[in-house]
Amino acid sequence: MAEIKRTSSQRRRQIADRFTQKVAQKESLRIKGLKHKDETVWFGLGMFGIVGWAVAIPTLFGIALGLWIDRTWPSRYSWVLMFLIIGVVIGCINAAYWVRKTRNTIIEEDDE
């Protein structure tokens, strides 16, 4: 006859603990999904749009200001290029602010 191996109670407890942890993780993910059910793919694309506009608007403003300065007070320096670079830098800082703000909001909601 085949001998049946019995697992020790400690081994059974470890298996039960692992199973309990997996169930808890899946339940946690389910609850997060219910909290963020209105955040679809379109929400993510909208965030890309916010980041894009956060960079584009200061850049375009810098170009417009540089063109105005070049036409009003001609000089040997290109104010358009200087304000283009300044606009891009300000836009990147602005985009980083929006991404950080949204990330912190998501983290705070998940901690509740």
Q: Mean pLDDT lowest for which of 3-7, 78-82, 99-103?
A: 3-7
> Residue 54 class from Cβ within 10 Å (0-12 exposed, 13-18 middle, 19+ buried)?
buried
What's the pLDDT tens digit per position in 27-70? 887 887 777 677 677 777 777 888 889 999 999 999 999 999 99
C-alpha torsion sign, points 65, 67, 72, 75: positive
Q: Write out pLDDT tens, residues 76-88.
A: 999 999 999 999 9
Average pLDDT over residues 18-30: 88
- Inform me whether the pLDDT recorded for 16 exceeds 60: yes
Give this prediction's pTM.
Answer: 0.62
Listed residue (92, 95, 96, 90) closest to 61, CA to CA: 90
pLDDT, greater one: 2 or 26: 26
User: Are residues 65 and 82 in contact, defined by beta-carbon separation less than 8 angstroms?
Assistant: no
Helix extents (H) in 1-112 = 9-35, 41-72, 79-111
